[in-house]
Amino acid sequence: MKLITAPILAFAGAAMGLAHSIRPFSNSTVSYASTSGGQFTIDGKTGYFPGTNCYWCSFLKKHADIDLTLDRIANSGLRILRVWGFSDVTEVPSDGSVWFQRLSAEGSTINTGPDGLQVLDYVVEAAEQRGLKLVIPLVNYWGDYGGMKAYLRAFGGGDVTTWYTNEATQAQYRKYVKTIVNRYHDSKAIFAWELANEPRCAGCNTDVIYQWAANVSRYVKELDKSHMVTLGDEGMGLNGTDNSYPYTYVEGTDFAKFLTIDTLDFGTIHMYPSHWGVDFDWGNGWIESHAKACVEAGKPCFLEECELRSPVMEPNGDFVMNSWLRKATQKSFIRDPRWLKSFRTDGNARFYKAGDLVRYGTDGSIRFIGRKDTEVKLQCYRVELGEIEYQMRQFLPPSAQAVAAIIGSEDSWKEPDLAAFICMSALGGESDATKAGVAPKVSEPALDVAALRAQLAELLPAYMVSSVYIPVEKIPKTASGKTDRKKLKELALKLIL
């Protein structure tokens, strides 16, 4: 994707730091990676191999950082690593950051210095020492680290779709490809050369990328007959089981067609359900349909990038929960119990999980003890409101009640607040304020808020200490006798917004 906002799992694996010591690579049969039917062969072993992406490895200027990163990747059992082989600029960075190529119509420069390809040199050398195999993309479709747009800025502008047929951009691209391929063509650490990262040509005939890929892959094979070559596309454009966007040909790509290019050794698949407007279950069919296409082409393929998302890894992400909506809905229902069949046979209704937490008594009675849905997301953390309420009650009179809730306007860009509603009156006794549907009322403060906050700060992390404290006459209840958090939130919004 243009912006990598979530961890990427490549080849069904992920890099994890498991051990700090170097595990020597002891395989004595080191050879060039190759294909074998629908599988790959690495150093004499044929099968499926796990790997990961580390695009930023190519931009680590300290050798110690590269060593530490590759140690952990190798120690986790991964064999294939995808690192960026491009960093295109139109002006030399003034901050000392790594750049590989300065593009200019007056004459481009390929940087072979310590802030240039010497960094990639060390990555390749370090990978070879650890038995890691590298996939190296040679240009980016997206603007990150320059990409095709940087070429176009230097050579006459135009839409990115013109990059594939622009004579100036293609001439310089081939010069750069030749430099990189010749520099490492003897290294057994190279798994494959990748023509581009996620090449697209929106609105183009698929022949544009097809012809470009066929010509450039043939050129690379002429330079290097030992290493594999792949396109690096996402797998878009394929006759699938639905009409979802990724299966269409609108991006000028045709996965099955590209696999027929004889100078491409294997196919690549990327998968970003939330960016593509589909759910995560959809991904199973995406993988299966591409696997079928690869079998028909007689070439292996691998899942090169895929998406994992979580509230912790992506604060306030628009798509954190959307992709899980159906699964969450399904989990809210249970299968009809057997005894239900004797009462109903239409099958048009389902049993819904109310979310109540109960405890069976010894006499067979059921006692309500709480709710399952009091876990919320706050400042990227999962917070259990019940824990906050329990700690607040430790510093309140025995008869007091405390309710924690997340409040905030749905159309506001601001982070929601954690509010505490406190009722100091004695429990029990029916009143209008406790009846279902009756709005709560603010009462006169009867507690030292500053002292309570200080006490809670001793026991809870800062994000679990309420920023808003609202004293109320009574805690509102629903018709079933549970705390009406909706009414409390409405009260808070009237007071603070």
Give the total residue count for the chain. 497
End-of-domain residue from the set 323, 343, 363:
323
Number of domains into which the chain is organized = 2
Question: Among 128, 198, 304, 307, which one carries the catalytic annotation?
Answer: 198
Per DSSP, which regions of 307-455 are E strands? Answer: 333-334, 351-352, 356-360, 366-371, 375-378, 381-384, 401-407, 417-423
Give the model's confidence band at 352: pLDDT under 50 very low, under 70 low, under 90 confident, else very high.
low
Q: What is the mean pLDDT of residues 49-58?
A: 93
DSSP 240-277: -SS--GGGSSTTS--HHHHHT-TT--BEEEEE-HHHHT
Q: Which two tokens stand for residue 108?
A: 């481009």
Would you give the distance in Å from CA 274 to the centre of its chain?
A: 9
User: Do residues 381 and 310 make contact, with C-beta atoms less than 8 angstroms apart?
Assistant: no
* Mean pLDDT over the full length of the chain: 81
Q: Which two tokens stand for residue 169?
A: 């951009």
Mention every residue, 6+ apart, whose C-beta is less than 8 A from residue 133: 33, 42, 49, 51, 79, 80, 81, 127, 189, 190, 191
**Is 89 in the same domain as 198?**
yes
pLDDT of residue 16: 26
Q: What is the CATH number of the domain that holds 439?
A: 3.30.300.30
Q: Which of 203, 306, 305, 196 is nearest to 258 (CA)?
A: 196
Tens-place pLDDT, residues 407-458: 865 444 456 778 899 988 754 334 444 444 445 665 555 678 888 989 888 8
> Is 8 or 440 the better-scoring residue by pLDDT?
440
Q: What is the CATH number of the domain that holds 319?
A: 3.20.20.80
Neighbours of 361 (CB within 10 A): 9
pTM of the predicted model, to two decimals? 0.61
**Is 270 in the same domain as 415?**
no
Q: Is 222 a catalytic residue?
A: no
* Residue 24 maps to a domain: no
* Residue 333 maps to a domain: no
Neighbours of 124 (CB within 10 A): 21
Integer Cα distance of 182 and 220 in angstroms: 10
* Residue 344 maps to a domain: no
Q: Which two tokens stand for residue 413?
A: 């860009």
Mention every residue, 6+ apart, whose C-beta is less than 8 A from residue 303: 9, 10, 11, 12, 269, 270, 271, 287
* Residue 101 maps to a domain: yes
Question: What own/partner pairs with CB < 8 Å and gap ≥ 24 does 159-162 have?
Answer: 160/201, 161/201, 161/202, 161/203, 161/204, 161/208, 161/252
* Residue 314 maps to a domain: yes
Q: Which residues pair with 357 in a beta bridge?
A: 370
Tens-place pLDDT, residues 112-163: 999 999 999 999 999 999 999 999 999 999 999 999 999 999 998 788 999 9
Which residue do the tokens 């917070």 mark?
Answer: 383
Integer Cα distance of 13 and 73 in angstroms: 10
**Is 310 in the same domain as 387?**
no
Which residue do the tokens 């150093």 mark?
Answer: 43
Kindly report which listed range (101-110, 237-246, 249-258) carries the lowest average pLDDT score: 237-246
Q: Which two tokens stand for residue 19?
A: 């051990």
Count the helix, strand and coil residues of the chain and give each as a percent rounded to the nearest 5. 30, 20, 50
**Is 378 in the same domain as 469?**
yes
**Is 318 in the same domain as 381?**
no
Q: What is the DSSP letter of 321?
A: T
Q: Which two tokens stand for residue 320?
A: 């954190």
> Is 326 or 162 the better-scoring residue by pLDDT?
162
User: Do residues 88 and 147 make contact, with C-beta atoms less than 8 angstroms apart?
Assistant: yes
pLDDT of residue 213: 98
**Is 378 in the same domain as 464?**
yes
pLDDT of residue 318: 44
Q: Is 305 a catalytic residue?
A: yes
Give the model's confidence band at 25: pLDDT under 50 very low, under 70 low, under 90 confident, else very high.
very low
Q: In whole angstroms, how far apart are CA 347 and each of 232, 327, 351, 354, 418? A: 48, 21, 11, 20, 42
Q: What is the DSSP letter of 472?
A: B
Give the model's confidence band at 69: pLDDT under 50 very low, under 70 low, under 90 confident, else very high.
very high
Neighbours of 46 (CB within 10 A): 13
User: Do residues 84 and 94 make contact, with C-beta atoms less than 8 angstroms apart?
Assistant: no
Residue 378 belongs to domain spanning: 374-496
3-state secondary structure of 414: coil
* Residue 348 maps to a domain: no
**Is 319 in the same domain as 383?**
no
Tens-place pLDDT, residues 243-298: 899 999 999 999 999 999 999 999 999 998 888 888 878 888 898 899 999 999 99
Helix axes 147-154, 167-184, angle to 10 degrees: 130
**Is 72 in the same domain as 168?**
yes
**Is 83 in the same domain as 204?**
yes
**Is 399 in the same domain as 291?**
no
**Is 270 in the same domain as 393?**
no
Question: Among 128, 251, 304, 305, which one carries the catalytic annotation?
Answer: 305
* Residue 103 maps to a domain: yes
**Is 407 in the same domain as 279?**
no
User: Do residues 210 and 257 make contact, with C-beta atoms less than 8 angstroms apart?
Assistant: yes
* Residue 257 maps to a domain: yes
